[in-house]
Amino acid sequence: MGVLNIVPTGVLTGDNVRKLFDYAKDNKFAIPAINVTSSSTANAVLEAARDIKSPIIIQVSQGGSAYFAGKGLANDKQQASVTGAVAAALHIRTVSKSYGVPVVLHSDHCAHKLLPWFDGMLEADEKYYKEHREPLFSSHMLDLSEEPKDQNIATCVKYYKRMAAIGLWLEMEIGITGGEEDGVDNTGVDNANLYTQPEDVFDIYNALSKIGPNFSIAAGFGNVHGVYKPGNVRLRPDLLGKHQMYAREQLGGKPEKPLYLVFHGGSGSTKEEIKTAVVNGVVKMNVDTDTQYAYLTGIRDFVEKKKDYIQAQVGNPEGPDKPNKKYYDPRVWVREGEKTLVERVKEACTDLGNVNRL
Ligand SMILES: [Zn+2]
């Protein structure tokens, strides 16, 4: 029995998101969440999911959302990030049914200073809900990990009440993901802060489960955004098992893995580390750095190989009158980036066991 026996194709919302994550948890696989910045990258992610017959998570960051709307737009009040996130969501909603895969449509890290972006998306969700009885997105992430725990939890509770009312999933972060992403620089953070304690994770579970069951936790276990030289921080996915165990004990022995966990900053991690994380209840793993690079490689190789065919609109090594349209048409060279992105998304799915799951 596959995923399509449990959830429909297209963008999932409400309890369908939890049903998908439960299925992944029970069958010990996780779903990669790929950041997209354009219809081109979004389509490539959907193409990969279709080819390997599996569900997929597509997400937009605050910067990626602004890019989706266009870098030429002002974003001083997060207006371009809101517009771009809505545009991305509507695009993905429109085409995902044609690809025939279930999609979790998610927004990535939102720090305190970016809350106007979050508020704008939530308003769009509520508006969409009025018409369609479901939100525009499947889920959103709030990342208040830089704040004291109590403040972090209080803000998550406030937002989650509003989100749960319209069937939105909440992903929250406790503990800090090192490295730098989207303008938030955590490269100087003390190493001890990169590992979250089981008690802290359970406090979050306790507060949010009073409102609803549809939430996940990105707990720090030495994760770092981006790809750096190994050895600086040690990834400890085994700690996630301790979080599950502690939560289980507090809840009187079941369920076996009460927490939905999310793996951030996993670029460059070993297959073994990924496996340990998945066994310990990670249902979503973010992939951005590696797929960014993959999108470039196809275009880079094309430009290098066809260098002499793109110097002018007319004239190449085959003759001074030969037209070059079939080399400079963006459907040709951007497509090369899409192809290498498709392959990298398939690899991410394979690493997580997310293959032939429909
Ligand atoms: Zn992250």
pLDDT of 144 over the 70 cut: yes
Task: Give the residue with greater pLDDT, 223 vs 77.
Answer: 77
Q: Which domain holds residue 169?
A: 3-289
pLDDT > 90 in the chain, percent: 86
Residue 253 lies in a domain: yes
Residue 51 lies in a domain: yes
The answer to whether the beta carbons of residues 83 and 36 sit under 8 Å apart is no
In the reported structure, the alpha carbon of residue 318 is separated from the centroid of ligand 1 by a whole-number distance in angstroms of 48
Closest among 213, 168, 223 to 193, alpha carbons compared: 223
* Ion ligand 1 nearby residues (CB, 5 A): 264
The model's confidence at residue 232, banded by pLDDT at 50, 70 and 90, is: low
pLDDT at 185: 66
pLDDT at 331: 98
Residue 13 lies in a domain: yes
In the reported structure, the alpha carbon of residue 243 is separated from the centroid of ligand 1 by a whole-number distance in angstroms of 19
Task: Compute the mean pLDDT over every residue in the chain, rounded to the nearest whole number.
Answer: 94
Residues 6+ apart with CB under 8 A from 147: 112, 155
CATH classification of the domain holding 220: 3.20.20.70
In the reported structure, the alpha carbon of residue 60 is separated from the centroid of ligand 1 by a whole-number distance in angstroms of 11
The first and second tokens of residue 180, run together, are: 């730098």
In the reported structure, the alpha carbon of residue 118 is separated from the centroid of ligand 1 by a whole-number distance in angstroms of 16
In the reported structure, the alpha carbon of residue 141 is separated from the centroid of ligand 1 by a whole-number distance in angstroms of 10
Measured CA to CA, the distance from residue 307 to residue 26 in angstroms comes to 50
In the reported structure, the alpha carbon of residue 225 is separated from the centroid of ligand 1 by a whole-number distance in angstroms of 6
pLDDT of 321 over the 90 cut: yes
Measured CA to CA, the distance from residue 344 to residue 332 in angstroms comes to 19
pLDDT at 266: 81
The model's confidence at residue 1, banded by pLDDT at 50, 70 and 90, is: confident
In the reported structure, the alpha carbon of residue 178 is separated from the centroid of ligand 1 by a whole-number distance in angstroms of 9
Residue 65 lies in a domain: yes
The model's confidence at residue 175, banded by pLDDT at 50, 70 and 90, is: confident
Q: What is the pLDDT of residues 324-339, one digit of tens each?
A: 999 999 999 999 999 9
Measured CA to CA, the distance from residue 256 to residue 43 in angstroms comes to 37
Measured CA to CA, the distance from residue 28 to residue 106 in angstroms comes to 22
pLDDT of 193 over the 80 cut: no
- Residue whose entry in the numeric block shows the structure tokens 């799951």: 357
pLDDT of 190 over the 60 cut: no
In the reported structure, the alpha carbon of residue 280 is separated from the centroid of ligand 1 by a whole-number distance in angstroms of 19
Per-residue pLDDT averaged across 88-96, rounded?
Answer: 98
pLDDT at 184: 64
Measured CA to CA, the distance from residue 303 to residue 149 in angstroms comes to 49
pLDDT at 235: 85
pLDDT at 181: 65
The model's confidence at residue 180, banded by pLDDT at 50, 70 and 90, is: low
Residue 321 lies in a domain: no
The answer to whether the beta carbons of residues 283 and 25 sit under 8 Å apart is yes
pLDDT > 70 in the chain, percent: 93
In the reported structure, the alpha carbon of residue 266 is separated from the centroid of ligand 1 by a whole-number distance in angstroms of 9
Per-residue pLDDT averaged across 170-180, rounded?
Answer: 81
pLDDT at 3: 98
Residues 6+ apart with CB under 8 A from 183: 63
In the reported structure, the alpha carbon of residue 311 is separated from the centroid of ligand 1 by a whole-number distance in angstroms of 40
Residue 255 lies in a domain: yes
Whether pTM exceeds 0.85? yes
In the reported structure, the alpha carbon of residue 262 is separated from the centroid of ligand 1 by a whole-number distance in angstroms of 9
pLDDT at 191: 58
Per-residue pLDDT averaged across 171-196, rounded?
Answer: 71
pLDDT of 252 over the 70 cut: yes
Closest among 273, 354, 287 to 49, alpha carbons compared: 354
In the reported structure, the alpha carbon of residue 10 is separated from the centroid of ligand 1 by a whole-number distance in angstroms of 24
Residue 121 lies in a domain: yes
Is 108 among the residues known to form the active site?
yes
Among the options 15, 22, 76, 108, which is catalytic?
108
Q: What is the pLDDT of residues 263-293, one digit of tens each?
A: 998 877 888 999 999 999 999 999 999 999 9
The number of distinct structural domains making up the chain is 1
Residue 334 lies in a domain: no
